[in-house]
Amino acid sequence: MQSCRLWGVGPEIPTSWVLQKLLRTMYILYTLMLGVSAFTIQPEERTAAAGNCRFLGRHFKIDFMVEGEPVVLRCPLAWHRSLDSARPHVNMTWYKNGSARMLPGEGETRMWVQDSALWILPALQGDSGTYICTVRNASYCEEMSTELRVFEKTEAALTYISYPQILTLSTSGSLVCPELSEFVHDKTDMKVQWYKDSVLLDQGNEKFLSVRGTPRLLVQNISVEDAGYYSCVMTLTHNGTRFNVTRNVELRVKKKREETVPVIISPLQTILASLGSRLVIPCKVFLGAGTQWTTELWWMANDTAIDSAYLGGRVTEGQRQEYSENNENYIEVPLIFDTVIREDLNTDFKCVARNALSFQTLHTTVKEATTFSWEIALAPLSLVVLVLGGIWTHSRCKHRTGKAYGLTALKTGHQDFQSYASKIKEIK
């Protein structure tokens, strides 16, 4: 109580009030200081992580790697490699998505940045994730992300981390051990070992040859059994420690593409149809052992493509069908008339087949069925008439001699015609 008086504060003002005031002032000061420190520390981190930086998207490629091996993530912004030399004033940094911490972190010995690439050696499964690389100078900032997935080295992981490669049956070809360029500085001493189902290849056999100084494995006379998973291993020494760089390749063996001359085997040269009816004319092409997908097949009307000739769609091309009968290949494309009209009788329809070896066409015309049927009915009959007539005149001529031959022949011919004409009537 005494001290209060000494302070010169009246008894109306209690000590607790002074203390409260003091604490409040201190608190305000403290928060102010915190705020200031936050503003001075944070901007750098925030802009570095996300703010004010143009995000140019994810890189299309995902790196699938094996645990315990070296990984090199190249900044997708520096894909053209010109970045380092052409823009020396830019600063490149790496972050893992979700963390503002720059990579490599302090005391991190497994990671380092070299020529715009982030090295991780050895990679762990926990390193999987999205990595963002930021390129900035005083006035601009751009960033892009790239994806890394690190797998355990197991057979099951093989399917995820394999690069598919295709070779042709019964030929020779080579597999390439992919994504090694980051580790190869002197190609002459590059040595890649190839395995299939854990068996080392190229042990003095003629089938497989690992070409020294290249990432290639030469495969002779490729058979269906050669398909499957291969792994290739390159050894890398870093700070006296040897590391394997393993890549997996899935070999798919495809059949040789065989090309044959297409033969249009249908339609006939004339097609009968009734006006007003629906009509389908299939164009059928025989290819033998030839591959179907290399042959084009289409219809034309008066040398014009069907969709252009019939904008209304009265006449259309149907779906292409590819099929095999007795190991021989065929293609078929139908021409479909919703209704046949008189114009179709004067139009030249053409089926066209084309591949690398040949160009074939077949013309067809539509004839009206009703008027034509008489001719069809009479055609064999008139043939019989002609043949019989021929035989008859021939036998009569044999018995004849003399100068009147031509005239009588004509006469008899006329008579014959009349008699046959009456016969035709009887048949009718």
Ligand X SMILES: *[C@@H]1O[C@H](CO)[C@@H](O)[C@H](O)[C@H]1NC(C)=O
Select from 347, 365, 393, 412 the one that contacts ligand X (CB under 6 A). Answer: 347
158 touches ligand X by CB under 6 A:
no
Say whether residue 174 binds ligand X (CB under 6 A).
no
80 binds ligand X (CB under 6 A): no
Report the distance separating Cα 210 and Cα 193, nearest Å. 7
Are 290 and 263 a contacting pair, CB within 8 Å?
no
Does position 128 interact with ligand X (CB under 6 A)? The reply is no
Smallest distance from ligand X to CB 163, Å: 18
Q: Per the structure block, which two tokens stand in for 249?
A: 């390749």
Residue 129's φ and ψ, nearest 5 degrees, are: 150, -170
**The two three-digit tokens of residue 207, written as one number:** 């089938």
Q: Lay out the site mask for ligand X across 268-297 (x = CB under 6 A, - = otherwise).
A: ------------------------------
Contact pick of 301, 335, 352, 366 for ligand X (by CB under 6 A):
301
**What are the structure tokens assigned to 145, written together?**
């992300």
* 99: contact with ligand X by CB under 6 A: no
The answer to whether residue 233 forms part of the interface with ligand X (CB under 6 A) is yes
Interface with ligand X (CB under 6 A), residue from 52, 99, 270, 302:
302
324 is a site residue for ligand X (CB under 6 A): no
Q: Least distance (Å) from ligand X to the CB of residue 242?
A: 6
3-state secondary structure of 314: coil
Check binding of 171 to ligand X (CB under 6 A). no
* 98 touches ligand X (CB under 6 A): yes
Q: Which x/- pattern over 234-263 shows residues binding ligand X (rule: CB under 6 A)?
A: --------xxx-------------------
Please list the helix, strand and coil fractions of the chain in percent, rounded to the nearest 5, in that order. 30, 40, 35
Helix (H, G, I), strand (E, B) or coil at 395: helix
116 binds ligand X (CB under 6 A): no
Tell me: does residue 145 bind ligand X (CB under 6 A): yes
Measured distance CA(32)–CA(34) in Å, rounded: 5
Is residue 35 at the binding interface for ligand X, with CB under 6 A as the rule?
Answer: no
- Count other C-beta atoms under 10 Å from residue 28's C-beta: 10
3-state secondary structure of 44: helix
Distance CA 124, CA 148 (A): 11
Determine which helix (DSSP H) or strand (DSSP E) holds 284, and give its type and residue range.
strand 279-288
In whole angstroms, the minimum distance from the beta carbon of 239 to ligand X comes to 14
Which of 20, 37, 99, 221 touches ligand X (CB under 6 A)? 221
Give dist(CA 428, CA 426) in Å, integer: 5
**Count of residues in contact with ligand X, rule CB under 6 A:** 24
Write down the H helix ranges in 105-149: none
* Binding positions for ligand X, rule: CB under 6 A: 58, 87, 89, 91, 97-98, 130, 137-140, 145, 221, 223, 233, 242-244, 301-302, 309, 343, 346-347
